[in-house]
Chains A and B, each alone.
Chain A
Amino acid sequence: MIRVEHLTKVYQRVKRKEGVLGGLRTLFSTEYETTRAVDDISFHIDEGELVGYIGPNGAGKSTSIKMLCGILVPTSGHIEVNGLVPHKERMTNALQIGAVFGQKTQLWWDVPVIESLRLFRDMYKVPEAQFKHNLNLFNELLDLHEFQNTPVRQLSLGQRLRADLAGALLHNPRLLFLDEPMIGVDVVVKERMRTFIKEINHDRRVTILLTTHDMTDIEKVCSRIMIIDHGHIVYDGNIEKMRAQYGTQRTLVVEFEEEVPEFSVPHATLTRTEGKKKWFAFNRFETNPSTLITYVSTQYPILDLAVEEPEIEAIVRTIYQQLPASVEKAER
């Protein structure tokens, strides 16, 4: 469905000078600074996949999505979206993709939601039967009818994002790009949108690329995860594999019958003490919980214990932190 080979995007911008006079000097400047927003990435996405695309701010997520949409030309490398080269066949590509950019709406600000959707219908030449069928579906799954006659500027954020999602799916696209589609919405709306995204993916076989900063989205929705940083893809695979590869650290939480002094345990480190509770971090390849528990129970009487799995958020944090921070500065 999507084939990306050695994709690179370099931005070139006039270098800004500081201060008041600097602003004036910028007018005559011939100095440019270049940023490698996307640096030699390759990946394939098959039809029907639901891929989480994550990375810190400025990692190159939006740049790569824009290239897939055909509204940004790659500096080098090759992209193919369902057999088309997006920036060469932008308008044909537009018919087979849908996109939601959470930061800005694509609906018309002043007119009721339903009117924006009608204009989409005319732009994408959606048959009337399909239009009605899709509206019914959106009413059912997104409660669109509750606010379809309200102008977009009066919608709450959650309603606006739901309306944008409906607009992106009206023409039955084969592919859906969601760039932070749930930014800033409450848990209830979030849950509803997640369910909707999963259903669209499952029932209509729509291939979805989802960008988010919320790891719960990734855990609940995605079957595969790609992590990008400084323009490089640093991880590509499913969540279980990521847990196995990076989530080697676990924690044993022990509650003793009374407060006990600090003591050391082989192959584990004491990370936290709180009243009668103590947290021991250990690597699951070096030791295992039962050995640890046996050892600890010989030291002091135990009241309760638990083993904490690493949270996906913590794993991602580990991956981000392991990345070389020097890549960006090496440019110029």
Chain B
Amino acid sequence: MKIFWAFARQHFHSTAIYRFDFWMRVSSIFILMYGTRWLWITLYSQRPGAFGVSLGQMVTYTVLSMAITNLFFTGPPYYMAGQVRSGAIDGDLLKPMDFHFHMLARSTGEMIFRIFTITIPGMLAGYFLFDLQLPASVQSGVMFVVAFLLGYLVNFHLEFLLGALSMVTLEIDNIDWAFHATTRFFSGQYVPLWFFPGLLGTLAAILPFRSIFFVPLSIYTGVMRGSAITQAILFQLFWAVILFIVSRWVWERVQLQIISQGG
């Protein structure tokens, strides 16, 4: 556990250097919150009752989605591809740490850092300025945290697999773009999945991506209740375990290639 804090501490230090980048990030979150709130207010004023949930729930869903966006995409693919390109991967492999765990610690350290510097201020601003409501109930609040952590693990492993792929192909930009477009769409980051019709809806229900935004946000807003929550969490757990196993299997092979070909 200590190692997670150790990495979080590193991010506090490096962010002190990239201050401009940090403030840009914070302000872009605020702009997105503002924009998404106005979008839904406008849509609801045109067709009230057409969206299945109340305006308050809808705005809460999307504003909260913006506040937690940065907790997910912590960038392991870029780090992993960069390390192989520059040869610095040698330094990582020299450490008495499993590389997969190292990446998890690194990524989680950054996530912890962002909770304090981006998400909490973002949620406060959301509460006071952008109509972000409190969790639907205490149970919703607690299960939201559980679902968020599972969603985080699912996303981390998807990103880790992408990183492992980029270590072999040495390419990242295009794959990363396609990956994020898919993730953002099927995870319900901007548009909740209950709007997805027919086949698209089925696809979104099967794929692991809905673990990332849709499940925690639906629980928080109270759209998902009771046994549906248990089912959704089991779904997340299932994908987290599958992706963990696949990550281990893939990494064993990628590592073997790196250490037999010399990076």
Contacts and interface: CB of A to CB of B under 8 A. Distances in A.
Interface of A: 11-13, 63, 66, 69-73, 87, 90-92, 94-95, 99, 101, 104-106, 108, 110-112, 115, 118-119, 122-124, 151
B10 A111 contact: yes
B9 interface: yes
Please list the 7 inter-chain residue pairs (A to B) with the smallest Cβ-Cβ separation, ordered nearest first: A110-B14, A94-B96, A106-B91, A122-B6, A111-B13, A71-B93, A95-B96
Contacts of A66: 90, 262
B86 A104 contact: yes
Given A119-B6, A122-B2, A63 B262 contact: yes
Determine chain A's interface SS by DSSP, over half rule: mixed
Interface of B: 2-3, 6-7, 9-10, 13-14, 17-18, 86-88, 90-91, 93-98, 256, 259-262
Given A110-B17, A151-B17, A123 B95 contact: yes
A64 B207 CA distance: 46
Nearest to B258: A71
Contacts of A112: 13
Contact of A73 (B3, B91, B259): B259
Contact of A69 (B17, B87, B94): B94
B19 to A, nearest CB: 12
B6 to A, nearest CB: 4
B94 A71 contact: yes
A91 B97 contact: yes
Contacts of A122: 2-3, 6
B96 A92 contact: yes
Contacts of A118: 6, 9
Contacts of B97: 91, 94, 123
A11 B261 contact: yes
B96 A71 contact: no
Nearest to A90: B93
Contacts of B259: 71-73, 87
Determine chain B's interface SS by DSSP, over half rule: helix
Given A66-B90, A70-B93, A72-B260, 11 more contacts: A71-B90, A91-B96, A91-B97, A104-B86, A104-B90, A108-B10, A112-B13, A115-B10, A115-B13, A122-B3, A124-B95
7 contacts: A73-B256, A94-B97, A105-B91, A115-B9, A119-B7, A123-B3, A123-B97
Contact of B13 (A70, A90, A110, A123): A110
A57 to B, nearest CB: 16
A255 B50 CA distance: 107
A106 B14 CA distance: 16
Contacts of A123: 3, 6, 95-97
A110 B18 contact: yes
Contacts of A12: 261
A105 B13 CA distance: 18
Contact of A94 (B9, B95, B260): B95
Interface centre among B9, B88, B260 (most CB of A within 10 A): B260
A13 B262 CA distance: 11
Contacts of B261: 11-13
A105 B98 CA distance: 20
B99 to A, nearest CB: 10
Given A63-B262, A66-B262, A108 B14 contact: yes
A29 to B, nearest CB: 16
A253 to B, nearest CB: 47
B94 A94 contact: yes
Contacts of A91: 96-98
A122 B18 CA distance: 25
Nearest to A63: B262
A122 B10 CA distance: 12
Contacts of A63: 262
A66 B96 CA distance: 15
Contacts of A95: 96
Contacts of A99: 94
A115 B95 CA distance: 16
Contacts of B90: 66, 69, 71, 101, 104
Nearest to B88: A104
A183 B97 CA distance: 28
Nearest to A118: B6
B14 A104 contact: no
A308 to B, nearest CB: 42
A12 B260 CA distance: 9
A112 B95 CA distance: 19
B13 A73 contact: no
A67 B96 CA distance: 16
Nearest to A9: B262
Interface centre among A11, A71, A87, A118 (most CB of B within 10 A): A71
Contacts of B10: 108, 111, 115, 119
A124 B96 contact: yes
B262 A72 contact: yes
A228 B18 CA distance: 45
A70 B260 CA distance: 10
Contacts of B7: 119
Nearest to B255: A90
Interface centre among B9, B88, B94, B261 (most CB of A within 10 A): B94
Nearest to A112: B13
A12 B91 CA distance: 23
